[in-house]
Amino acid sequence: MGEVNPEMVIIARESRGYSQSALAQELGIPQGKLSKIETGTIKTPNDVLSNLTATLSYPEEFFFQRGRIYPGISYHRKRKSIAQKELYYIDANTNIRRMHFEKLIKNIEYPDIKIPKLRIDEENMSAENIALAVRRLWLMPKGPADNITDYIENAGCIIIHCDFGTRMMDGLSICSPAMPPMMFINKNLTGDRLRFTIAHELGHIVMHDYPTLTMEDEANKFAAEFLMPENDIYYELENITIDRLVSLKIRWKVSMQALLYRAASLETITERSKQYLWMRMGQSGYRTHEPIEIELEKPSLYKEIIDTYLDSMDYTLDDLCQLLCIHEDEFHKMYSETSGLRLIKKSNDHKYN
């Protein structure tokens, strides 16, 4: 199988939430030795590899993959509140899924990518104009978008709901060379916040190749226009009341807070009115728990890819786990819940329906 890939040792460790010192202690080796293994200074001894597989619950094949860690462009609530260890955990787990996806699409006919690359500084394009351009490209009707997950997946972007292990991260996207874009969304979000996060990440994919100081604001403006186009919602945001925000939330499938900010940005209400309504929402407890739950949009493209292997390409679950270099319980944990797959047992074989 060749030599152990040091980067896969790092990914495996961080995906399980271990610091280098903690894992070294668990393995019964000096931290310096583990550091040398992770930097490629020394080869991984066979006894250490055996302990790594047992401690981190990955098959040996996992550590021989030629994987790389790609940074994701992320949208999160409180950047300063999220611990570096949590960021490492999220980056490692999303990159493992990215490597799975790279393997899976090699053997199937993947749909054409219909996500444009547009820049704010090109031809005086604003984030709002770019959002409208994407809507026109995808032939989206005026008014509220019924299911933006469907539109984005039909354009070739993979969306996966994940457990980030923290509420401080809403979502992130990865665009790696020669690969369709991928979005990873915190599965614990409410339906309205999930939609805004997906639209925000779409803004990153369309507009940004690298981080900038203004990228978060630009992605927020993109998301607001994509979900609530000015020409379609402007007059609905006049004479706003709390009850009106509730009814608009149902219609537009965005949060009351997003609607209030949209009204303020479009100047259909005064700053004084905005502050008053914001205060009323706080008094009613709506800043943390809004009335009316918006149904969660569920991605399906990844399920279709997995089903292609299991149903059309005659892969067993064991075959698929060997391809992805994970154990069966890991596969079930990573993909059954998020893609809607249901595990059943037939005779001695595992199949998914």
Does residue 57 form part of some domain?
A: yes
pLDDT tens-digit series, residues 70-116:
776 666 655 668 888 999 999 999 999 999 999 999 999 998 999 99
Does residue 243 form part of some domain?
A: yes
Using the 3D structure, point to which of 106, 121, 144 is the last residue of a domain: 106
Residues 172 and 31 in one domain: no
Does residue 313 form part of some domain?
A: yes
Does residue 288 form part of some domain?
A: no
Residues 133 and 278 in one domain: yes
Residue 12's domain comprises 6-106
> How large is the average pLDDT for residues 291-303?
95
pLDDT band at 2 (very low <50, low <70, confident <90, very high): confident
Res. 351: pLDDT tops 60: no
Does residue 325 form part of some domain?
A: yes
> How large is the average pLDDT for residues 139-158?
97
In 10 A of CB 313, how many CB atoms? 12
Does residue 343 form part of some domain?
A: yes
pLDDT tens-digit series, residues 236-245:
999 999 999 9
> How large is the average pLDDT for residues 156-171?
94
Residues 319 and 341 in one domain: yes
Residues 204 and 262 in one domain: yes
The pLDDT of residue 238 is 95
The pLDDT of residue 343 is 42
* Tokens standing for residue 86: 């949590």
* Tokens standing for residue 8: 């896969």
The pLDDT of residue 345 is 35
- Per the structure, the count of domains in the chain is 3
Residues 130 and 61 in one domain: no
Residues 260 and 214 in one domain: yes
Residues 316 and 243 in one domain: no
Whether 6 contacts 37, CB under 8 Å = yes
How far, CA to CA in Å, does 143 sit from each of 233, 234, 235, 245, 250? 7, 11, 12, 16, 13
The pLDDT of residue 176 is 82
**Lowest mean pLDDT across 80-84, 191-195, 197-201, 207-211:** 80-84
CATH number of the CATH domain containing 33: 1.10.260.40
Residues 257 and 124 in one domain: yes
Res. 1: pLDDT tops 80: no
Residues 125 and 237 in one domain: yes
Using the 3D structure, point to which of 106, 140, 169 is the last residue of a domain: 106
Res. 122: pLDDT tops 90: no
Residues 98 and 121 in one domain: no
Residues 174 and 274 in one domain: yes
Residues 127 and 228 in one domain: yes
Using the 3D structure, point to which of 41, 71, 106 is the last residue of a domain: 106
pLDDT band at 121 (very low <50, low <70, confident <90, very high): confident
